[in-house]
Amino acid sequence: MLRYLCKICCITGKYTFFVLTLTIIVLSSTFGGTIYCASLFGLVSIFPKEYSQALIIGNALSGIFTALANIMSLVDVQQKKKLLEDDEAQLSDTDDEDMYVPYGNNKLKRLHYVFMKIWPIALAAFWCNVISFCVFPSVVTRGISIYRKSNTLLTGPLFIPVTCFLMDATADIVGRILSRWILFPRQNQGILLLLISLCRVIFIPLFLYCNIHPRKHLPVKIYSDIAYMVLIMLCGFSHGYITTLCTMYAGKRVPPQFSESAGAIIYYFVTVGIAAAFPSNILTQASEVCNFNDNKSSMPTPLSSNRS
């Protein structure tokens, strides 16, 4: 009822509104709070003392939940306020330009206009997916634990499902969730986001130098399960984080009437990036598996089963 009272204009009846609000609060506290709690305390007194303890703990926890909800609400409001301020600053810089809808009757020119606004974001999404799927899953799933001789489940049959698929998926989700609060680079720093996405190319040689087999050309330089798992988590986290930022920023870099087109362009570049990763994947595996010089002395470090 208070929700509906808040919508009533009380400029001419402030006293009536005040009295009515206090009356509702008193009635709800009396019947919904005092009588209910007294009945509940009387009921739990019939049961063993553990029930009374649980009731008291529940009352304390309700205060904690309320405080946490208040904190999260304030943080969320501040975050949204900051986003709105950034959007207003972004739109104010191009206010005159946004009021004018260019190429109203030409769809191709409109798409070109939208692309020129978001091209760093689109290319960042493209390269992020190209680099990620260039090594995942075909390269990283061939990793072998250096403790394979111990014949345990974690270093044997479960090594790839846990260290590769589970850790990558978990890190990817964490990256997507954290992008809700950590917005770096900002939406007007598209070039920086593109450069960060391009820097992820370092994952390709790093994974190739891990203990993955079969291999005939490149030596094993990173002979550590911990380093292998850290690389997988960093790759998955950065993939989820950058892809989410690109999707979030695209619609904010154009006038509102072009937001849908911007989102569609980002999805197109993500799809093209995944498709372009497959030939890149073949080249990556060829550079690592194929023996280009037939020199037996250049064979990589053997499997862990041959390690002393």
Q: Which residue has the higher pLDDT, 75 or 277?
A: 277
Q: Report the sign of the C-alpha dihedral through residues 18, 20, 21, 26, in that order.
A: positive
Q: What is the pLDDT of residue 141?
A: 87
d(C-alpha 162, C-alpha 306), whole Å: 24
What is the reported pLDDT for 299?
A: 42
Residue 168 pLDDT = 92
- Residue 2: the pLDDT is 52
pLDDT digits (tens, 9 = 90+) for 173-227: 999 999 888 888 988 899 999 999 999 999 999 998 998 887 777 788 998 999 9
Q: How confident is the model at residue 111 (pLDDT cuts 50, 70, 90)?
A: confident
Residue bearing tokens 């130098």: 209
43 or 287, which is more confident:
43
CA-based diameter of the chain, in Å?
95
Rounded distance, CA 140 to CA 160, Å? 8
Local structure of residue 222 (DSSP, 8 states): B
- CA 121 – CA 243 distance, rounded (Å): 9
**Percent of the chain, pLDDT > 90?**
29
